[in-house]
A and B are shown apart, each in its own frame.
Chain A
Amino acid sequence: MTLTRIVGGEVLDANGRRKTDLVVNDETGLIVDTAGEQVLADLELDATGCLVLPGLVDIHAHLRQPGSELSETIESAALAAAVGGYTAVVAMPDTDPCVDNAAAVNDVLALAKAVKCEVVPAGAATRGRKGVDLAPVGELVAVGVRLFSDSGSTIQNAGVMRRVLEYVDGIGAADGLQLVVAQCPQMDTLTGLMNEGALSSTLGLSGQPALAEELMVARDIGLAQLVGARLHLQGLSTAGSVEAVRRAKASGASVTAEVTPHHLVLTEQACATYDPNTKVSPPLRTETDRQALWAGLADGTIDAVATDHGPCPADSKERPFDHAPFGVIGLETALPLLATEIESGDIKARIQLDQVIAALSWQPAAIVGLSNRHGGPLVPGASANICVFDPNKTWTLNRSTMVSRSSNTPFAGRELHGAVRHTVFAGTPVVANGAVVDSTGTDGAAVGS
């Protein structure tokens, strides 16, 4: 058993802010109750000047294993997550083979046992993510799946989407579980390489109109309301989508929504260099859209920031823009990027860091039913999944020092304000002083001495 003391920081969780040290136990994985007594810790993690947060929770990441291990593995993704302050990551089912059966879930869980970040498999909503036949929801629920999504492809057929919502909701009710259907809303027949508008017309790149997303958002909200099911909308990118969710929530619909860090930071202007690292789905939108996403985050319309971490091998992003795959990585940079962004300009007036943290930690944890282990208030007896964030450290993002197996980020070379200093998973330091703790424990031993 090793006790680790997190010293000198300010805790920030759903209960607010307070100055306190925390002691965590790597055997129980819990925060130790230190009331009234002096506990001697084996290790110390210095948190002076830092915010001590519940571990971040990413409910939308593509870990690529099995199938595309050259891009990422569960092991490398877990490291990237830890470096970014995450203690839980929901793995999308769009692997090869697809996670649409219990055996595939168990394969992922077996690999996930070895890593120091909770990897939660999501299940496909339809068989093979083809949008035609229902996935075996009951079988998947039995091995622990709580979120169903055809992630990476959208269920185009409204009838099929309706059945998915009904079935998942019904199984959840029968088993007394909180299940959710998630969808990246996009109308396939209106698709394009970037946001449709004056810039796409000038660049000669095919455009995807905002409507391609908004039509699907409207349809899915309508279907969810029709059958009374929960719906989670992934990766919203347009002002119209935010407004649709705002209205749906006001009318009592059981809808949640997430946005990505890259949509909060970049606009379509980034595509003007034809750098395929700016090619994402949904596409980067206009400044008006970007501001609307922040406004949605600020007023609670948007519940979560999720990375849509999408590793791609380097050579695939060195192709022509139209032949390169969609996607950027995001686990290592989400919190520092957003912390940097809210220091600047218009955004500063809209939102507090505390709200951004909520959207990165306890709010997403609640959507996927992880609140008992992640994102909860950092009180004695709670799970010791913790992120220590230094808001004052300035650093420059360098592709070569990233721990993800891929480096497809549009943010390389960018100066960031704020860095993850320590990440503690189940009472064990995984990242200490910004570096991954050696699994042999030698680095960890040095930390508190």
Chain B
Amino acid sequence: MAERERKGTPPFGGVFVARNQVLDAAGVARAVKRMAHEVVERNSGLTDVIIIGLQTGGVPFAEAMAQALLSIENVEVPVGKLDVALYRDDINLRPVLPEAVTEVPFDLRKKVVVLVDDVLFTGRTIRAALDAIIDHGRPRAIQLAVMVDRGHRELPIRPDFVGKNLPTRRDEAVNATLDDLLNQTDRFAEVQQRAIRKVPALRGKTVVMAFFEDSTRTRSSFDLAARRLSADVVTFRAGSSSVNKGESLRDTVETISAMGIDGIVVRHSSPGVARQLTNWTDASIINAGDGQHQHPTQALLDCYTIRQKRGDLLGKRIAIVGDINHSRVARSNVAAFTKLGAEVVLVAPPTLLPASLDGWPVKVEPDLDSIIGDIDIVYLLRIQTERMKEAMLPSDREYRSRWGLTLERARRLSPEALIMHPGPMNRGVEIDPEVADDSRSVILDQVANGLPVRMAVLFRVLGAGQFEEQDNGAQTSGGRR
């Protein structure tokens, strides 16, 4: 992948376009074949050679190169794919999004990597690719093959194999498309599979974890996500004392901002705090849960988990069960699930539904038994013991008997269904202990997926230039950078 100069047109299946039509399909095939011969010449026997195409433009050439090597030497050379977005040096300068998955499923030690890209221009992409490859392991050598060399190098990078030299103007731009956050999450999930599970994307950025309400799992997840993106992380321990609840948010956020930080991940027991903070700081604000209002990254990781397990949310029937009224998770998930085409049914004790559901794109069912056999996903919410004291529920036992996912109800649930819970669970209240460990339960996957989702969010907000702010309180960030 070469920066700035590549258009979205696929290189095969017609013509290869690098601004001007430089090579037709036959010309491309000839150039690939010639380069393959050169590769063989340079690496006799092709032992230890691995081809890695740069996402996305270099990948088809890498595959074509492997095909050519097979026909020339009758050797099957492994082909990998590498996405370098997280290693770029211009992350601050413009919206840069990871475009595709990295697949380097082999040990690179003692291997010769032939890096393949479509267009070589400034050399910055290759610089990033060299760093990315080293993070996967230390190859014996790296060689570079490019279809088109446009010149204008800004770094001391030189190709080993060139399809065609083609000097061009410098100012050709490329439209960066903003992929859906969920699509990007795949790229961050891949980072978790590497030998070195860290990328330099947010190097030099400082992120503050401002958790006014304690939350071990969300904070750890965000903390780790920021660190895996190489951001510096500061934890602001606000605690949960009443003094802090009454403290001026402005004082707090101005104090934090005075340290010169780029982003604040905020969790607070009061609704609207993430939004309020944007009044007093230029740092990007990431909502990690605000009272009963919203918990956007939970919704993202839930959607990601469903897509991972079932491909798509379109047409899925999802029951969200429990204390809807006090649940930020429910509010975020109703919005996210329905936006992605799922049908949402709320199942709750009458006292734990919001006062009004006007405008909510949901159906309401009074109990779980009437729908349990007919849903694709059952999403259970945690029942807080305070609700009994507030006369909202008679007892744990009564809750379990009507709204709990008991063993008996789990038997009636489709074998294809998913069981989800944002945690922490009250085993024996909203979910029977055995059901939590059922094979349909994806509760631990949800936790695991929190990490790449939060990396995607942090990267999008802090690493990828400017994005339009959304118009409601449910936004992932209120960044005003």
Contacts and interface: CB of A to CB of B under 8 A. Distances in A.
Contact of B355 (A207, A322, A323): A207
A197 interface: yes
B291 interface: yes
B271 A201 contact: no
Given A274-B271, A274-B275, A318 B249 contact: yes
Contacts of A318: 248-251, 280
A196 B355 contact: yes
B366 interface: no
A197 B355 CA distance: 6
A316 B246 CA distance: 8
Given A274-B276, A320-B276, A204 B356 contact: no
B247 A319 contact: yes
Interface centre among B245, B247, B280, B355 (most CB of A within 10 A): B355
Nearest to B273: A320
Interface string A137-157: 000000000000000000000
A321 B277 CA distance: 12
A273 B356 CA distance: 19
Interface centre among A196, A197, A316, A318 (most CB of B within 10 A): A318
A273 B354 CA distance: 20
Contact of A197 (B245, B246, B356): B356
A198 interface: yes
Contacts of A200: 355-356
B272 A321 contact: yes
A315 B271 contact: no
A320 B267 CA distance: 12
A287 to B, nearest CB: 14
Contacts of A203: 271-272, 293, 473
B358 A322 contact: no
A272 B272 CA distance: 9
B270 interface: yes
B292 interface: yes
A20 to B, nearest CB: 49
Interface centre among B249, B271, B293, B294 (most CB of A within 10 A): B271
Contacts of B259: none
Interface in A226-280: 272-275
Interface residues of B, number: 32
Contacts of B249: 318-320
Contacts of A198: 356-359
Interface centre among A197, A204, A273 (most CB of B within 10 A): A204
Contacts of A274: 271-273, 275-276, 473
A332 to B, nearest CB: 23
B124 interface: no
A408 to B, nearest CB: 13
A323 B271 contact: no
Nearest to A316: B248
Nearest to B357: A201
A315 B269 CA distance: 19
Nearest to A193: B271
Interface string A300-326: 000000000000000110111111000
A201 B272 contact: no
Contacts of A273: 275
A406 to B, nearest CB: 14
A362 B77 CA distance: 95
Contacts of B269: 320
Contacts of B293: 203-205
B331 A319 contact: no
B164 to A, nearest CB: 57
Contacts of B356: 196-198, 200-201
Contact of A321 (B271, B325, B355, B360): B271
Interface of A (DSSP majority class)? helix
B317 interface: no
A322 B271 contact: yes
Contacts of A272: 473
A320 B355 contact: no
A202 interface: yes
Given A203-B272, A203-B473, A204-B331, A319 B359 contact: no
A209 interface: yes
A204 B291 contact: yes
A319 B359 CA distance: 29
A261 B169 CA distance: 64
Contacts of B270: 320-323
B454 interface: no
Nearest to A276: B276
A196 B355 CA distance: 7
B355 A201 contact: yes
Contacts of A275: 276
Nearest to B335: A202
Interface in B242-260: 245-251
A272 B249 CA distance: 18
Contacts of A316: 248
Given A198-B356, A201-B356, A272-B473, A320 B272 contact: yes
Interface in B364-400: none
B355 A315 contact: no
A204 to B, nearest CB: 3
Given A197-B355, A198-B356, A321-B272, A315 B248 contact: yes
A204 B294 contact: yes
B227 interface: no
A196 to B, nearest CB: 5
B6 interface: no
Interface centre among B269, B276, B280, B292 (most CB of A within 10 A): B276
Contacts of B268: 320
Nearest to A317: B248
A319 B331 CA distance: 23
B272 A319 contact: no
B81 interface: no
Contacts of B360: 201-202
Contacts of A204: 271-272, 290-294, 328, 331
Interface centre among A197, A200, A319 (most CB of B within 10 A): A319
A320 to B, nearest CB: 3
Contacts of B354: 201
A210 to B, nearest CB: 11
A204 B273 CA distance: 12
A273 B292 CA distance: 15
A88 to B, nearest CB: 35
Nearest to B331: A204
Contacts of A209: 355
B244 to A, nearest CB: 10
Contacts of B357: 198, 201
B246 A319 contact: yes
Contacts of A315: 248, 250-251
A73 to B, nearest CB: 22
B264 to A, nearest CB: 15
A197 B473 contact: no
Interface in A162-215: 196-198, 200-205, 207, 209
Given A202-B331, A272-B473, 10 more contacts: A196-B355, A200-B356, A201-B357, A204-B271, A204-B290, A205-B272, A205-B292, A209-B355, A318-B280, A320-B249
Q: Which 7 A-B pairs have the closest CB atoms?
A: A274-B272, A320-B270, A201-B354, A204-B292, A204-B293, A198-B358, A204-B271
16 contacts: A196-B356, A198-B357, A200-B355, A201-B354, A204-B271, A204-B294, A273-B275, A274-B272, A274-B273, A318-B248, A318-B251, A319-B245, A320-B249, A320-B291, A321-B272, A323-B246
Interface of B: 245-251, 268-273, 275-276, 280, 290-294, 325, 328, 331, 354-360, 473
